[in-house]
Amino acid sequence: MSEERETHGGDLAVLAAQAHGINHLFTLSGAHVFPIYDGAVHRDLPIIDVRHEQTAVFAAEATARLTRTPGLAVVTAGPGVTNGVSAVANAFYNGAPLLMLGGRAPAGRWGQGALQEIDHPPLLAPVTKLAATVKKTEEIGNEVFDALALARTPHRGPTFLDIPMDIFFGPATTHPVAAWTPQTRQVNADEVARIADLIKKSSSPLLILGSDVWAGSAEKEALEFAESIQIPVITNGTARGIIPRGNPLLATKARSFAFRSADLILVVGTPLDFRLGYGDFGSAKVIHVSDSPSGIATHATLSASTSGDLSAIFTALTNSLSHQVSSEWRELITQAALKSASKERELLEADLSPIHPARIYGELLPKLADDAVIIGDGGDFVSFAGKFVEPVRPGCWLDPGPFGCLGGGMGGIIAARLARPSAQVVALFGDGALGFSLGDIDSLVRHHLPAVMVVGNNSAWGLEKHPMQSIFGYDVAADLAPQTRYDEVVRALGGAGEIVTESSQIGPALDRAFESGVPYLVNVITDPAIAYPRTTTGI
């Protein structure tokens, strides 16, 4: 309902959120934010309460990444806000639009030592597009609406508002709020022409698609462009699946060869950060395309760049190019990918004791439906997932992203199950990462959110243990308790699970997990001596 009525500031906040298509409010209960709970109850906005504020924010972030509409996390003042900061930072580096709405000590008691009194915006300013305090009750609706609009305007990212308790409880009159409508930026024709000319002159070009292509709803145009000129493509983040598994243009398994051999690399919708060697591809020309001017790399040597609506840019490039990339170059990519896949098959089928972590994926991959949402929360174990898992559709892969913040797995499960109730939801945890959010199994159980969870249990912080041994000849602060029964913890919290110690047990355990209809943890004991192969610490 949206008719005019006398109420309080919480109602204004809910109306503004619903005008942005927000369907769930993620929270951990706190008295400072009671008014928005009351507004949510009366406006039929479901409240999903969790056991740690980081999970509320991670759920809001995952909602944004999966649905392409903003997420909303509501947290109480003081420690409620500070507990959510890391997850907000993760959303910032993932370009995920959300609003973290915080409580705040009463304005009428400010400076007198009220409970949980702290000035939040300076803490959030470095990792948000906006961090501000609402000063008047009648401004709550407009400020919430505008904060969400800013969050979802490219380059997307989180925003933060806090509302003093007395302001939040203040009397207000509601009015209907019109739905938000996006604005698009015009394409720079000269910059697009420059890019098209460079592609035309290239003999071995490569296209890299990042998460902003999915976030900007440009996946259809990206695929049309790639197929029009027959350019090999590597995808990352939520862009995985834009070029579906089995498409001969998908070059992900030939990644190293492609990076070494391409003479031009077109990077769209992802930063030139450590994941892409900071944009240093040797003698190859580099083109960077972003959804906003602020996203264009300034540290790399670029042959061309442009920014704007990614759908329009892909369409303009498709219309500007009539040639196709050489079949010889595509064949080289194909052969490199086949060679890599052959090596991977040996690991996926490895029948070793202790279990090789790759074998888990060998058993899991055939069981995944085309619409499965895969959530990675970990370091070494999830690195194997990034290597082997190839989604069929975009918007189905969630990993921590460039900030590398662990603990997002449970929030990801909550968001995925709510956003896609009929899809498989599979979360892949390192045993270290699982410790950040294990208590939120309780949240999954209470809200009836089934999921398949797999933990690669090597009893170590593997991403740190093995590099430390390589650098110093020993490791410290890198071991966990051996073979911890995380499955028993899940059962104690109302879910289900089992332990797996032999390769032959993995497949049947996964079958039971998929059939269970509850939060089900498959606790796989893996070989602690196996490390994901990498040449650096990833920094």
| Tens-place pLDDT, residues 17-60 | 999 999 999 999 999 999 999 999 999 999 999 999 999 999 99
Do 56 and 203 share a structural domain? no
- What is residue 1's predicted lDDT score, i.e. its pLDDT? 41
Any domain includes 339? no
Question: Which residues form the domain of 447?
Answer: 349-525
- Taking only the tens place, the pLDDT of each residue in 310-353 is 999 999 999 999 989 999 999 999 999 999 999 999 999 999 99
Do 169 and 243 share a structural domain? no
Burial group, residue 63, by CB count within 10 angstroms (0-12, 13-18, 19+): buried
- What is residue 440's predicted lDDT score, i.e. its pLDDT? 99
Do 353 and 327 share a structural domain? no
Any domain includes 344? no
Number of domains in the chain: 3
- What is residue 425's predicted lDDT score, i.e. its pLDDT? 99
Do 386 and 427 share a structural domain? yes
Do 495 and 387 share a structural domain? yes
The parts of the chain modelled with pLDDT lower than 50 are 1, 535
Do 430 and 284 share a structural domain? no
- What is residue 529's predicted lDDT score, i.e. its pLDDT? 93
CATH number, domain at 148?
Answer: 3.40.50.970
Tokens standing for 533? 């192969």
Separation of alpha carbons 530 and 533, rounded Å: 9
Q: Using alpha carbons, list the distances in angstroms from residue 3 to 6, 69, 120, 138, 173.
A: 10, 24, 33, 16, 10
Which of residues 118, 149, 173 is at a domain's end? 173
Tell me the pLDDT of the chain averaged across its residues. Answer: 96
In this structure, are residues 167 and 135 in contact, taking their beta carbons and an 8 Å threshold? yes
- What is residue 536's predicted lDDT score, i.e. its pLDDT? 52
In this structure, are residues 254 and 235 in contact, taking their beta carbons and an 8 Å threshold? no
Any domain includes 393? yes
Any domain includes 383? yes
Do 213 and 168 share a structural domain? no
Separation of alpha carbons 25 and 315, rounded Å: 36
- What is residue 336's predicted lDDT score, i.e. its pLDDT? 96
Do 231 and 356 share a structural domain? no
Which of residues 305, 334, 363 is at a domain's end? 334
Any domain includes 183? no
Tokens standing for 172? 């207000």
Any domain includes 531? no
The b-or-e profile of 235-272 (16+ CB within 10 A means b, else e) is bbbbbbbbbbeeeebbbbbbbebbbebbbbbbbbbbbb
Do 379 and 305 share a structural domain? no
Q: Using alpha carbons, list the distances in angstroms from residue 387 to 106, 253, 349, 436.
A: 50, 8, 15, 24
Do 202 and 94 share a structural domain? no
* CB-based contacts of 301, cutoff 8 Å, min separation 6: 279, 286
Q: Is the dihedral of CA 174, 178, 180, 186 positive or negative?
A: negative
Tokens standing for 57? 């924010």
Any domain includes 178? no
Which of residues 173, 203, 232 is at a domain's end? 173
Do 507 and 358 share a structural domain? yes
Measured at the CA of 405, the angle between CA 404 and CA 408, to 5 degrees, comes to 125
CATH number, domain at 217?
Answer: 3.40.50.1220
What's this model's pTM, rounded to 2 decimal places? 0.96
Do 374 and 318 share a structural domain? no
Neighbouring C-beta atoms of residue 358, cutoff 10 Å: 23
Any domain includes 1? no
Residue 355 phi/psi, 5-degree rounding, is -70, 135
The b-or-e profile of 481-508 (16+ CB within 10 A means b, else e) is eeebebbebbbebebbbbbbeebebbbe
